[in-house]
């Protein structure tokens, strides 16, 4: 039997369920192909989602598009264009064959650089990918009938042309031109019909796959890169599986009136608890639940977690926003002129000022605040005093060790007044229980954070720590020319360990660093950035054509800041950056590049952390705790206080 990714249990849990035809073909392929074939169902390739890709080492790849079309509702023109009857008229649609060909084309041009680059020098590389179509509700007779009208039309036009030539109504040149065009149409129809298999011809489709000979060009390097990108990401493998909660976590998901505060180590499940509590609260009182975070990029993660619990998307009963967006929207709701407020105060002062007292504003029965360690005390008071309904429920979630905005700890303690005692969570579920990462996190906290945050929680570590259950823990210093060096090291790790793009994030405390790396990665594959790349930056700076993007890339960090200030582009760039964060999705299928500040609260299977001069303990701790499995610290700093710590700790962990 062939091997299918993901397995059938996983396929049954996917949010987008397979069609009847897709499920039938999946079972048929698995049953009728041997284990030298690997079947990838609905793989995520930089936005493309082919139904199936069948891979065989040393042979090639088969891209199969599946349709459950009732062919009686479709027709094909002599130009090989598909049309569907929508009840009132015929509407043009993309043919299944054109979709399969598009996936093939994108494999070469977008998704597999090693394949596309080789194809430039040797066109035979284009022959290692084979497009096919399966029409589940059709058979050989109905497929022939579908194409018959277009074939007859072409034959009729050919006869007409011959008669016109015989009667000398057209010239030989005109006849030849028209005949060549009709021949192209005819070949396209014949080709596409030969690629289509109905439900009575699946044995022929299997024979087509099995009879394809080995191809010398489909070598190990291309096969390995193909498979790495096709294998399900961690998100796909866990889709539909709700996290199991321990007794303490479960207790915190129960919705009830009153004030409460929860804090814990990175990965202890705060966001999962928050999402569960939100759904329980909405079920309890039936009204909209307000969820306020600090990091804009967390909004979509929280929405996804709520959707996973509900089994559907609900945009009406859950208001998920960040504090600043919520504050501005409420100012607009009460009719305040923001521009007038700006004339007498800075934005920081505005966001700390209570303009809502004694005003008619919407009240919420439940308000959940995430990342409370990043809040100013005034913010929490403004939300509580003005927007919480009488006898309402308000819960604060936070982690002092991730205080990357350096809020004053003594002043910040005022935030939690009136919310009772902290409920503390020590166990991290982000990593496996026996992962040596937990010891690394705890040692870092004890050495750099415990004295500053004496009441913070330390990551719980098993006494029987073995150190064997992990994939990657690496520390490597970078030379002065760190950008190309870091790029090559990251690529080397990706290839060597077959890391899926969707499971990778590259973090730095400076946009300048990750922007340069993004430019290099864009030459090989699509990336997902939480900041403006150089092309977008060039557009926001409104520079003349003589000031090229390449010239912009040559500026150092100080020169670039000075140019942004000179061009009065700060607000434009901040607006562009907010848009990128608002539309950030952690499972885009691409390698992600982000600042640590923007990625706080999120996680990834593999984290590449660019350690830089000036990184604070909170920044470093937040960076390393984003990983669930693989941590690679690439040190570009000259004299960072953590260099020796990571060098020694990681060396000891990997030596066990």
Kindly report, residue by residue over 515-572, the tens digit of the pLDDT: 999 999 988 777 888 888 888 888 888 888 889 989 999 998 899 999 999 888 888 8
The answer to pTM > 0.75 is no
DSSP letter for 469, please: S
Q: Is the pLDDT of residue 466 over 80?
A: no
Q: Is the pLDDT of residue 455 over 60?
A: no
Spell 88-100 as b/e; 16+ CB within 10 A means b: eeeeeeebbbbbb
DSSP letter for 201, please: -
The mean per-residue pLDDT over the stretch 359-372 comes to: 92
| Beta-sheet pairing, 37-41 with 52-56 | antiparallel
Compare 460 and 51 and report the one with higher pLDDT: 51
- Predicted local confidence at residue 118, as pLDDT: 56
Q: How confident is the model at residue 329 (pLDDT cuts 50, 70, 90)?
A: confident
- Predicted local confidence at residue 40, as pLDDT: 92
Q: Is the pLDDT of residue 69 over 90?
A: yes
Compare 142 and 587 and report the one with higher pLDDT: 142
Q: Is the pLDDT of residue 276 over 90?
A: yes
Tokens 């009406």 map to which residue? 316
Q: How confident is the model at residue 464 (pLDDT cuts 50, 70, 90)?
A: very low
- Predicted local confidence at residue 121, as pLDDT: 53
Tell me if 616 sits within 8 A of 515, measured CB to CB: no
- Three-state DSSP class for 108? helix
What is d(CA 239, CA 259) in angstroms, rounded to the nearest whole number? 33
- Predicted local confidence at residue 401, as pLDDT: 63
The mean per-residue pLDDT over the stretch 99-103 comes to: 88
> Picking from 103-107, 261-265, 282-286, 465-469, which range would have the lowest pLDDT averaged per residue?
465-469
- Three-state DSSP class for 196? strand
- Predicted local confidence at residue 128, as pLDDT: 86
- Predicted local confidence at residue 471, as pLDDT: 66
- Predicted local confidence at residue 115, as pLDDT: 62
Burial class of 277 by CB neighbour count within 10 A (0 to 12, 13 to 18, 19+)? buried
Q: Is the pLDDT of residue 187 over 70?
A: yes
DSSP H/E element including 397: strand 388-398
The mean per-residue pLDDT over the stretch 489-510 comes to: 91
- Predicted local confidence at residue 606, as pLDDT: 94
> Picking from 247-261, 284-298, 431-445, which range would have the lowest pLDDT averaged per residue?
431-445
What is d(CA 629, CA 470) in angstroms, rounded to the nearest whole number? 6
Q: How confident is the model at residue 382 (pLDDT cuts 50, 70, 90)?
A: very high
- Predicted local confidence at residue 246, as pLDDT: 86
- Three-state DSSP class for 508? strand
The mean per-residue pLDDT over the stretch 278-284 comes to: 94
Distances (CA, A) of 230 to 45, 49, 352, 493: 7, 11, 49, 17
- Three-state DSSP class for 182? helix
Q: How confident is the model at residue 299 (pLDDT cuts 50, 70, 90)?
A: confident
Q: How confident is the model at residue 467 (pLDDT cuts 50, 70, 90)?
A: very low
> Picking from 120-129, 417-426, 608-617, 634-643, which range would have the lowest pLDDT averaged per residue?
120-129
Tell me if 372 sits within 8 A of 407, measured CB to CB: no
Q: What rounded mean pLDDT belongs to the chain?
A: 85
What is d(CA 337, CA 343) in angstroms, rounded to the nearest whole number? 10
What is d(CA 152, CA 170) in angstroms, rounded to the nearest whole number? 22
Percent of the chain predicted with pLDDT > 70: 88
Look up residue 308 and give its two tokens. Answer: 């996973």
Q: How confident is the model at residue 104 (pLDDT cuts 50, 70, 90)?
A: confident
Q: How confident is the model at residue 624 (pLDDT cuts 50, 70, 90)?
A: very high
- Angle at which helix 534-541 crosses helix 511-522, to 10 degrees, equals 120
What is d(CA 585, CA 300) in angstroms, rounded to the nearest whole number? 7
């Amino acid at each position: 039997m062939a091997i299918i990714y993901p397995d059938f249990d996983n396929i049954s849990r996917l949010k987008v369920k397979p069609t009847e035809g897709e499920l039938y073909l999946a079972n048929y392929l698995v049953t009728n192909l041997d284990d030298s074939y690997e079947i990838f169902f609905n793989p995520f390739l930089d936005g493309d989602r082919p139904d199936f890709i069948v891979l065989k080492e040393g042979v090639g790849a088969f891209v199969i598009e599946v349709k459950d079309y009732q062919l009686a509702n479709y027709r094909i023109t002599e130009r090989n264009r598909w049309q569907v009857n929508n009840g009132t008229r015929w509407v043009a649609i993309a043919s299944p064959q054109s979709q399969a060909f598009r996936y093939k084309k994108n494999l070469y041009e977008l998704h597999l650089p090693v394949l596309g680059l080789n194809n430039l020098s040797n066109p035979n590389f284009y022959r290692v990918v084979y497009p096919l179509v399966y029409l589940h509700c059709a058979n050989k007779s109905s497929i022939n009938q579908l194409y018959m009208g277009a074939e007859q039309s072409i034959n009729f036009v050919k006869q007409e042309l011959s008669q016109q030539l015989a009667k000398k109504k057209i010239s030989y040149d005109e006849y030849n031109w028209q005949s060549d065009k009709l021949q192209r149409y005819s070949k396209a129809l014949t080709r596409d019909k030969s690629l289509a298999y109905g439900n009575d011809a699946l044995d022929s489709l299997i024979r087509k796959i099995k009879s394809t000979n080995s191809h010398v060009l489909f070598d190990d390097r291309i096969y390995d890169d193909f498979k790495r990108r096709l294998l399900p990401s961690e998100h796909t493998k866990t889709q539909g599986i709700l996290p199991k909660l321990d007794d303490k976590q479960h207790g915190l998901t129960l919705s009830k009136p009153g004030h409460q505060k929860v804090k814990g180590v990175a990965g202890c499940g705060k966001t999962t608890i928050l999402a569960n509590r939100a759904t329980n609260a909405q079920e309890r009182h039936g009204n909209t639940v307000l969820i306020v975070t600090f990091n804009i990029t967390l909004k979509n993660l929280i929405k996804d977690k709520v959707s996973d619990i509900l089994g559907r998307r609900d945009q009406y009963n859950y208001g998920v926003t960040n504090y600043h967006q919520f504050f501005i929207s409420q100012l607009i709701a009460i009719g305040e002129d923001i521009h007038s407020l700006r004339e007498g105060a800075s934005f920081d002062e505005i966001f700390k000022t209570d303009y809502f007292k004694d005003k008619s504003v919407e009240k919420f029965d439940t308000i959940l605040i995430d990342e409370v360690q990043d809040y100013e005390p005034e913010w929490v008071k403004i939300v509580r005093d003005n927007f919480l309904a009488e006898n309402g429920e308000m819960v604060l979630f936070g982690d002092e060790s991730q205080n990357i905005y350096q809020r004053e700890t003594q002043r910040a303690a005022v935030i939690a007044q009136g919310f009772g005692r902290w409920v503390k969570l020590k166990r991290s579920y982000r990593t496996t229980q026996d992962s040596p990462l937990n010891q690394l996190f705890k040692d870092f906290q004890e050495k750099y954070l415990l004295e500053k945050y004496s009441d913070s929680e330390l990551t719980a570590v098993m006494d029987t720590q073995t150190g064997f259950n992990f994939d990657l823990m690496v520390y490597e210093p970078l030379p002065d020319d760190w950008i190309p060096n870091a790029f090559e090291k990251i690529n080397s790790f990706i290839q060597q360990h077959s890391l899926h793009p969707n499971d990778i994030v590259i973090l730095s405390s400076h946009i300048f660093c990750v922007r340069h790396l993004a430019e290099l990665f864009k030459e090989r594959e699509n990336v997902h950035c939480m900041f403006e790349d150089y092309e977008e930056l060039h557009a926001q700076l409104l520079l003349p054509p003589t000031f090229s993007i390449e010239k912009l890339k040559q500026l150092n960090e100080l020169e670039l800041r000075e140019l942004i200030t000179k061009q009065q582009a700060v607000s434009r760039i901040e607006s562009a950056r907010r848009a990128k964060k608002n539309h950030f999705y952690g499972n885009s299928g691409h390698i992600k590049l982000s600042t640590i500040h923007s990625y706080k609260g999120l996680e990834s299977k593999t984290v590449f952390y660019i350690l830089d001069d000036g990184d604070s303990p909170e920044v470093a701790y937040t960076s390393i705790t984003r990983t669930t499995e693989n941590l690679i610290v690439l040190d570009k700093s000259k004299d960072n206080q953590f260099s020796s710590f990571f060098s020694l700790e990681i060396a000891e962990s990997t030596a066990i």
